[in-house]
A = this chain, B = another copy of it.
Amino acid sequence: MVSIALNSSTTAPVPVETLQRITTAAAELGYTPNRFAQALKTQRTMTIACIVPDITNPFYPALVRGVQKIAQDVRYDVITMNTDGDPAREHQFLDWAREGRVDGVIGVFFSLRATDLRVLMDVDIPVVRLESSAKHAGSIPIDDIYVDNRAAARAATEHLIARGHRHIAMVAGKGGPEAVRAQGYGQALAGIKTEPWIVLDEAFNEVGGHRAAMTLLDAPKRPTAIFAANDLMAIGVMQALRERKVAIPAEIAVIGFDDISAARLVSPSLSTVTQFQDRMGERAAEILLKRLKGDRAAPGTAEEMPFQLIEREST
C-alpha cells in the first residue's frame, strides 16, 4: 500500500513543484486515498477520546455514556481509555493522542496539568477537563467543567453534624479529587471546633474502604460517623461494619460521594452526594463540540456544575 496525504495548510513553505511531483507520482500509482490517510490529511477522525482514571468505578462509565449521547447525534465515535490515575499512563496517553488519532479529548486527569496538555493544542486537539474545583488554564485554550467538590464534601459532613454526630472520621484514597474533598470535610469540622481524622488508603475503591474502616474500628475510640471520599470506599466501609456486626446507621453512620448506581442498591441504601455524572458527560461533549466547530484559540472557559446531597438509610 502506498499512501500520500497532503494538507495545504502547511506551516513551512513547500515548493509548488514538489507538491506537484508528489501528486503526479500518486496519480501514476492509481492511488485513491483511504479514510485513514484522509484523517491524516484533514486532521479529522470523527472520534472523541474519554480519559478516565478508573473504568471499573461506575461513576466514569456513566459519564462516558453522557458524552456518547451527545456525540453520536453528530456522528462522532467515542473511545475510552483507562489510566488508573497513574502519572506514567497519563503521559502515555498524551503521546498516543498527539499523533492525531482523535479530534478532541474529554478527560479526568490526576497528574497532567494545563501546561502538559498544551502539546495537544499544538496539534489542534481541543481538551475539556472535568475538575473537582475551579482551575485556571491561563492563556491555554482548555475548557473546564467542575463541581465544587470542597462545598459538596462540606455539605456531606454538615449533614452528619446535623444528625448529631461530633466524632466523624473520613476515609480517602491518595491522589485525584480526595484532597479537595478532605478540605471540605475539614471546613465542616472547623465549624464545630473539631479536629479532622482522616485514614488514607492506596486503593480508592471497596478494598481501600474496607481496610480503612478496619483501622477505624480498631481505634481506641471509634467514630460515630464515617465520610468516605467516594461511594466505592463507602461500600467497602459498610462491608467492614457488617463483618464486625456494627449497626448502620445506629452505631456508625456512613455517607459516600458520587451516587453511583450501587449506592441505591446496597442495604441500608447509601447517603451520598451526586455530581450528576451523566449530565456532566453531556455538557462536556457539548463544550468540546462547540470548540471543534468554533475558535480553537479562544481563551479557555470554566463552567460550574451542580451537586446535590442525597439522604438515604445509611445516615
Of A11-19, A145-153, A286-294, A299-307, the one touching chain B: A11-19
Instruction: For A101, give its contact among B2, B7, B101 (CB under 8 Å).
Output: B101
Instruction: For A79, give its contact among B3, B7, B14, B79 (CB under 8 Å).
Output: B79
Do B55 and A80 touch across chains, with their CB atoms under 8 A apart? Answer: yes
- Judged by a CB distance under 8 angstroms, whether A91 is at the interface is no
Do B37 and A19 touch across chains, with their CB atoms under 8 A apart? Answer: no
A9 CA to B239 CA, complexed, in Å = 58
Contact with B along A11-53 (1 / 0, CB 8 A): 1101100110110111011100011110111000101010000
Band of interface residues on A? 35 or more
- Judged by a CB distance under 8 angstroms, whether A77 is at the interface is yes
Do B40 and A36 touch across chains, with their CB atoms under 8 A apart? Answer: yes
Please give, as numbers and ranges, the residues of chain B lying within 8 Å of A26 by CB-CB distance.
22
- Judged by a CB distance under 8 angstroms, whether A1 is at the interface is yes
A14-B2, A18-B25, A265-B265 known; A77 vs B92 contact (CB < 8 Å):
yes
Do B56 and A61 touch across chains, with their CB atoms under 8 A apart? Answer: yes
Please give, as numbers and ranges, the residues of chain B lying within 8 Å of A266 by CB-CB distance.
265-267
A-B residue pairs in contact (CB < 8 Å), sample of 19: A1-B7, A1-B9, A1-B11, A2-B22, A3-B4, A3-B5, A12-B30, A22-B25, A35-B99, A36-B101, A45-B101, A47-B101, A56-B58, A56-B261, A58-B58, A68-B82, A79-B80, A239-B265, A266-B267
